[in-house]
Amino acid sequence: MFLTLPTLLTWTRIVAIPLIIGVFSLPISEGMRNLVATVMFIVFALTDWADGWLARRLNQTSAFGAFLDPVADKFLVCASLLVLVQLDRVSALIALVIIGREIAISALREWMAQIGASRSVAVHMLGKLKTTTQMVAIPFLLYDGRLFGFVDTRLWGMVLLLIATVLTIWSMVYYLQKALPEIRAKAR
């Protein structure tokens, strides 16, 4: 099921990456670039919810969709964090922690699948909460202004991203603890 509606929505998150990055090269005001990038990120991030809902609703779930969905999320988040680092709105250390965790857990899941123990590192609510917090923090940081005249989006974005960073580390420790018995068993 390579070209179902849910899978096409997942692909849009990957296609979105150069579009969001490209917005910051447009010859428009900084405020307009921020607004356009924010709206685009929100629209594309909502496809994460929509593709899963549609896949279940239309009975179009597939192994390929289950693989592509988290990859698309990780690409979108990581690319956006790199843009925010370049714009000096996020520290490189925070981006490194988040991106490093994604690489480490992806590698762990791949290895665990190879040894037949993928269930021990299946997606947990903690990982979903981490992703949701990131997906809310990033648009605040992309907007980088006052929302409704009084909400400081950079401040709220940083608070949420710090929470996401804590959840990132916590979820990585959780997944490593879940994998540890399998790792020990295979090391013998």
119-165 pLDDT, tens per residue? Answer: 777 778 998 899 999 999 999 999 999 988 899 999 999 999 999 99
pLDDT given for residue 96 in this prediction: 98
What pLDDT, on a 0 to 100 scale, did the predictor assign at position 1? 56
Query: Is 61 within 8 Å of 68 (Cβ atoms)?
Result: no
Digit-coded pLDDT (tens) for 91-129: 999 999 999 999 999 998 888 888 877 777 777 899 889
What CA–CA distance (Å, rounded) separates 127 from 172? Answer: 8
CA distance 40 to 160: 19
Model pLDDT, residue 4: 87
Q: What is the pLDDT of residue 86?
A: 96
Structural domains in the chain plus CATH codes: 5-187 (1.20.120.1760)
Tell me what pLDDT residue 17 has.
93
Q: Is the pLDDT of residue 89 over 90?
A: yes
What's the pLDDT tens digit per position in 30-84? 999 999 999 999 999 999 889 888 888 988 888 888 888 889 999 999 999 999 9
Is 16 in contact with 78 (CB distance < 8 Å)?
A: no
Q: Cβ atoms within 10 A of the Cβ of 135, count?
A: 22
